[in-house]
Structure 1
Amino acid sequence: MNLQPIIATPTTIITGFLGAGKTTLLNTLITHKLSDDKWVLLINEFGKIGIDGSLITQDDDITIKEVSGGCICCTGQLPLQIALVRLLGDHKPSRLIIEPTGLAHPDELLGQLGAAHWQASLKLQAVLCVVAGTQWQQDKYRTHDGYIAHVRHADVVLCNRTDGIDVAALSAWIRAINPHAKIILDGADDDLQALLDLPHHSTLPARTVALGAPNQPANNTPADAPISLPYRYHERIGEHHVGGWRLPAEWQFDSYDLQKWLLSRPNYLRIKGIIHTTEGWLMLNIAPDGISISDTDERADSRLEMIFADQISDDTWQVWDGELMGMKS
Structure 2
Amino acid sequence: MIVKAIPTNIITGFLGVGKTSLIKQLLKTKPEGETWAVLVNEFGEVGIDAGLMDASNSGVQIREVAGGCMCCAAGVPTQVAINQLIARAKPDRLLIEPTGLGHPNEIIKVLSAPHYQNVISLRSTLCLIDARKLRDERYRGHDNFIQQLHVADVIVTTKTDLYPEFEAAQGGQLAEELTQYLNELQLSDTSVMEHSALQGISTSLLESLKLPRRQATKASGSQSAVFKPVNSSSSLLRHTADTLGLQGIFAESASEQGFRFDARGLVRKHNQGEGCFSCGWVFEPMQEFDFDKLMQFISAQTQGHSALLRLKAVMITSDGIAGINWSDGDMALTELDDSLDSRLEMIATQEINWDEVEQGLIGCLVA
TM-score, normalised to structure 1's length?
Answer: 0.87
SS of the counterpart of 2:31? Answer: coil
Shift of 1:15: 0.4
Distance in 1 (alpha carbons) for counterparts of 2:312 and 2:2? 42
Match of 2:227 in 1: none
Q: Tell me by how many angstroms 1:311 deviates.
A: 3.4
In 1, distance between residues paired with 2:360 and 2:57? 37
Name the structure with the higher helix share: 2
Which amino acid is the alignment partner of residue 267 of structure 2? Answer: Y
2:339 to 288, 299, 312: 299
Indicate whether 1:246 and 2:282 are aligned. yes
The 10-residue stretch of structure 1 (172-181 or 132-141) with the greater mean CA deviation from structure 2: 172-181
Note the 1:105-184 alignment, pairs <5 A. Answer: 105-162=103-160, 163=163, 164-165=165-166, 166-177=174-185, 178-184=187-193
Distance 1:265 1:251, change over 3 A: farther
Deviation at 1:243, TM superposition (A): 1.0
Q: How many equivalent residue pairs?
A: 317
**Secondary structure of residue in 2 paired with 1:304:** strand
Quick check: 2:75–2:107 contact (8 Å CA) kept in 1?
no
**CA 1:174 to 1:58, structure 2 compared with 1: closer, same or farther past 3 Å?**
farther
Structure 1 residues 273, 256: CA separation in 2 closer, same or farther (over 3 Å shift)? closer
Q: Distance in 2 between matches of 1:328 and 1:5?
A: 48
Q: Is the 8 A contact 1:135 1:289 kept in 2?
A: no
What's the CA shift for 1:169? Answer: 2.0
1:75/1:169 Cα in 2 relative to 1: closer, same or farther (>3 Å)? same
* C-alpha distance in structure 1 between counterparts of 2:208 and 2:157, whole Å: 14
Q: How far is the alpha carbon of 1:217 from its aligned partner? A: 4.7
Q: Unaligned stretches of 5+ in structure 2? A: 167-173, 224-242
Contact kept, 8 Å, 1:71 with 1:103, in 2: the verdict is: no
Q: Report the equivalent of 2:266.
A: 230
> What's the secondary structure of 2:248's corresponding residue?
coil
2:209 to 196, 205, 222: 196
Partner residue, 1:185: 194
Q: Does the 8 Å CA contact 2:325/2:332 hold for their aligned counterparts?
A: yes
Q: Structure 1, residues 183-234: CA drift from partner, whole Å, max 9, x if none?
A: 10235954332122111101854689xxxxxx97546253212323311122
Deviation at 1:277, TM superposition (A): 3.6
1:90 CA displacement? 2.7
CA contact 2:288–2:318 (8 Å) conserved in 1: no
Shift of 1:120: 1.9
TM-score, length-scaled by structure 2: 0.79
SS of structure 2 residue aligned to 1:141: helix
User: How many angstroms does 1:279 deviate by?
Assistant: 4.3
Q: Does 2:87 match 1:83?
A: no
Measured in 1, the distance between the counterparts of 2:356 and 2:294 equals 20
Between the aligned partners of 1:69 and 1:174, the Cα distance in structure 2 is: 30
Query: Residue 228 of structure 2 aligns with which residue?
Result: none
Q: Deviations over 1:153-180 (max 9, x none)?
A: 1001110233224212213323443233
Q: For 1:238 and 1:131, locate their aligned partners in 2 and report how far apart those are by CA, in whole Å.
A: 19
User: What's the secondary structure of 2:323's corresponding residue?
Assistant: strand
Sequence identity percentage: 30
Counterpart CA distance in 1 for 2:203 and 2:2 is: 34
Give the alignment's Cα RMSD to 1 decimal. 2.4
User: What corresponds to 1:317 in structure 2?
Assistant: 354
Opposite residue 33 of structure 1, the aligned amino acid is: K
Q: Which of 91, 94, 111 is 2:92 aligned to?
A: 94
Alpha-carbon shift at residue 86 of structure 1 (Å): 1.3
Separation in 1 of the partners of 2:20 and 2:130? 13
Give the deviation of 1:289 after TM superposition.
Answer: 4.1
SS at match of 1:35: coil
Q: Distance in 2 between matches of 1:24 and 1:256?
A: 21
